[in-house]
A and B are shown apart, each in its own frame.
Chain A
Amino acid sequence: EPEVTQTPSHQVTQMGQEVILRCVPISNHLYFYWYRQILGQKVEFLVSFYNNEISEKSEIFDDQFSVERPDGSNFTLKIRSTKLEDSAMYFCARGTGLTGYTFGSGTRLTVV
């Protein structure tokens, strides 16, 4: 099955700056997800996105986060004003049903 592509692979940003992380899944999938993994720690759910709307979000996904599917194929996660603790690997994923999800290769975000 085709992979999920994430860009950039690594981004360094100044604290307080906005960042946009991009994901290109297959356009005919309806369910998408963002997860994050702080270095050396477990993978945490951020948000699920179904049929172009947020279907569920975690307590981590506060007002500084937003997701969009601006053009029907790309899927973006925006962090409005980055904090040091936002430094992590961010994964997008797609899938439903009884099989494992396909994860993207991840974007490593470093906030300095």
Chain B
Amino acid sequence: AQKITQTQPGMFVQEKEAVTLDCTYDTSDPSYGLFWYKQPSSGEMIFLIYQGSYDQQNATEGRYSLNFQKARKSANLVISASQLGDSAMYFCAMRRLSGTYKYIFGTGTRLKVLA
């Protein structure tokens, strides 16, 4: 069975600083993808970044990077130069890359960026 664990229910960060949101996972599948989504207070789910289990390099998308440590089964999201608009709920998710495509989500981390 697949499982995603996010142990930080809430985080604070000062504007312009970097912040790391933790995510650990468990799966027996050899091929899987790890994803991060942002959910602002308006409620929509916004895709941020993806990391494949076979990718050799950590994924980056603008100010977002994914610190992927396969041996430790962790896929932490790093947000650099935080902005007030980054205040939101962040969900880590996993899915297989073949067969079923459903996501398994973590419980989320609520990030508050302070001015």
Contact = CB atoms under 8 A, between A and B. Distances in A.
A106 B37 CA distance: 14
Contacts of B101: 31, 33, 48, 95-96
Interface stretch (A18-26, A35-43, A64-72, A76-84): A35-43
A33 B103 CA distance: 10
A46 to B, nearest CB: 9
B106 A42 contact: yes
Interface string B24-45: 0000000001010100001111
B105 interface: yes
Indicate the size class of the contact surface on chain B: 20 to 34
Interface residues of A, number: 27
B44 A105 contact: yes
A2 to B, nearest CB: 14
Given A42-B91, A106-B43, A98 B50 contact: yes
Contact of B45 (A56, A91, A98): A91
B43 A48 contact: no
B60 interface: no
A101 B35 CA distance: 10
Nearest to B35: A100
A33 B108 contact: no
Interface string B15-28: 00000000000000
Contacts of A33: 101-102
Interface of A: 31, 33, 35, 41-45, 48, 55-56, 58, 89, 91, 93, 95-96, 98-106, 108
State the 3 A-B residue pairs at the shortest beta-carbon distance, nearest first: A100-B47, A103-B45, A43-B105
Interface of B: 33, 35, 37, 42-50, 52, 91, 93, 97, 100-108
